Amino acid sequence: MRITIKMFASLKTDRFKEETCVFSDRATLREIVQELGIPLGEVGIALRNGTPANLDQPLAEGDSLALMPRISGG
């Protein structure tokens, strides 16, 4: 299945900003993040089609996935 992935801030460093990638059918968000080589602890916010998603949620053909890093500061 094809998923459009958008990465923000530090997650796009040495990766890409936006790309359409092919994954196995019913792959979960966790599997996709791991396949992209992103440590799970680095993902602070994940949006599937603009809606917050949990790591065990399966994705579907044509979904859009936005990944943002954890944010800290004061």
Q: What is the pLDDT of residues 23-57, one digit of tens each?
A: 999 899 999 999 999 999 999 999 999 999 999 99
Q: What is the DSSP letter of 15?
A: S
The residue extents of the domains of the chain are 2-69
Average pLDDT over residues 13-21: 89
Q: Is the pLDDT of residue 73 over 80?
A: no
Cβ pair 37, 14 in contact under 8 A: no
Reported as half-sphere exposure (CB side, CA atoms, 13 A), residue 46 has a value of 22
Q: What is the pTM of this model?
A: 0.88
What is each CA distance from 47 to 31, 32, 50, in whole angstroms? 15, 13, 5
Instruction: State the chain's mean pLDDT as an integer.
Output: 92
In this structure, whether the domain defined by 2-69 belongs to CATH 1.10.15.40 is answered with: no
Q: Is 29 exposed, middle or buried (0-12, 13-18, 19+ CB in 10 A)?
A: buried
Q: Using CA atoms, how far apart are residues 26 and 39, in angstroms rounded to an integer?
A: 21
Of these ranges, 10-19, 39-48, 64-73, the one predicted with the greatest mean pLDDT is 39-48
Q: Is the pLDDT of residue 11 over 70?
A: yes
